[in-house]
Amino acid sequence: MSGFERLGMGLGGLPLLGDARTRSVCPENPTGEKGKGGMAVPDPGKLPFSAAASDLGQGWKVNPFHKVKSGEALTIMDVDGPGVIQHIWLVADPAKGRSHIIRFYWDGEETPSIESPVSDFFAVGHNKFAPVNSLAVIVNPKSAFNCYWPMPFRKHVKITFTNEDKDELGLLTYQITYAETQVPENAGYFHAQWRRAVTDRANPDYVILDNIRGRGKYAGTFLAWTQLSDGWFGEGEIKFYIDGDAEFPTICGTGTEDYLCGSYGFPELYSTAYVGNVLKHAGDDGPPKWSLYRWHIMDPIFFDKDLRVTIQALGWWPNGKYQPLADDIASVAYWYQEEPHATFRELPDIEERWPR
């Protein structure tokens, strides 16, 4: 059994010992190196939060946070492999989440394998905080983003946080825990991609993901859905076009609430290990909004050559027939695959990302 397998990734693996070494990147140890944590010396000219530790000195919470200027791209992790990221805890401003972009680059690649507004990556939609209590993602009051997606890398990992807001972010902090360990040959790389579009009533298919080439597993979906019509919106079917499917998919769902493991709409909020409806916004200050997640942890979608994922925006007419909808949908797709990956479509400008 390899060191990677002995990590366990769950309760059952905790008793299994191995040769992995735990490391953690944070502002107090930006390189994650052994014996290099808490070394900063108070210097108000360089470290904006160090004045609070000036009476105590080195080793006493001198540099626990960053300020991120408008337009600044801050590298928050830059370490060599092999290894696997096990947990990310990050605190930023959920109300500005669409202004902040997180990107992951595996093994020196030029284009990111993960690119998303920070809040949506952690299943918080519309710049509106909502608690999430799942296996892969946990969001705690009032601004604590956590994820437990295992993210192996072989040679190197680089993670950046970019502030595209007009204002400085007054506080960013994070802890990224990873294990230095060998990575099995058949381990895929984690990917995540954000998209947004308004569906067309003539063809209300929203594309969650396409242009995926290679072998991999689809691992999850987050939907930040904005209703632009009255009534129920969740009759549309999700479809997975796998390995050459053309007009018709191999996997076809039976309705949006069914894909979210619910029934007869979303009458109340719920947040479970694999699925949740965490935001039911009545529309008092804008159109109704929903934040919905579905993790394929126990039921991943395997593909060998290519993958395309769509969901329909569909409601009801008063005459009892389906009504195609023009709704505003944003999404994050999560999947594992072999590298290299196809280059993502260009991330929209901040004006096009901002919620209604």
Q: What is the pLDDT along the chain (356 residues), one digit of tens a residue?
A: 566 766 766 777 888 888 899 999 999 999 999 999 999 999 988 888 889 899 999 999 999 999 999 999 999 999 999 999 999 999 999 999 999 999 999 999 999 999 999 999 999 999 999 999 999 999 999 999 999 999 999 999 999 999 999 999 999 999 999 999 999 999 999 999 999 999 999 999 999 999 999 999 999 999 999 999 989 999 999 999 999 999 999 999 999 999 999 999 999 999 999 999 999 887 777 899 999 999 999 999 999 999 999 999 999 999 999 999 999 999 999 999 999 999 999 999 999 999 99
Tell me whether the CATH fold assigned to 19-27+63-180 matches the one assigned to 189-343.
yes
- 221 close to 333: Cβ distance less than 8 angstroms: yes
Domain boundaries, the chain: 19-27+63-180, 189-343
Question: pTM to 2 decimals?
Answer: 0.96
CATH fold, domain 19-27+63-180, is Jelly Rolls (2.60.120)
Can you say whether the dihedral through the CA atoms of 95, 274, 298, 7 is positive or negative? positive
Contact indicator for 325, 287 with CB cutoff of 8 Å: no
CATH architecture entry for 189-343: Sandwich (2.60)
Pairing, β 114-117 against β 189-198: parallel
H helices, E strands: number in the chain: 4, 25
Of 236, 248, 252, the residue nearest 301 (C-alpha): 252
User: Could you tell me whether strands 144-147 and 189-198 are parallel, antiparallel, or unpaired per DSSP bridges?
Assistant: unpaired
pLDDT of residue 16: 82
pLDDT at site 9: 65
Residue 100 near residue 117, CB atoms below 8 Å: yes
Q: Which amino acid is at 13?
A: G
Q: Residue type at 302?
A: F
Residue 250 neighbours by CB under 8 Å, 6+ apart:
240, 241, 242, 243
Q: Give pLDDT, residue 138.
A: 98
Q: Where are the alpha helices (DSSP H) in the chain?
A: 3-6, 118-121, 256-259, 350-353
Q: Measured between alpha carbons, how far is 160 from 48 in angstroms, rounded to an integer?
A: 20
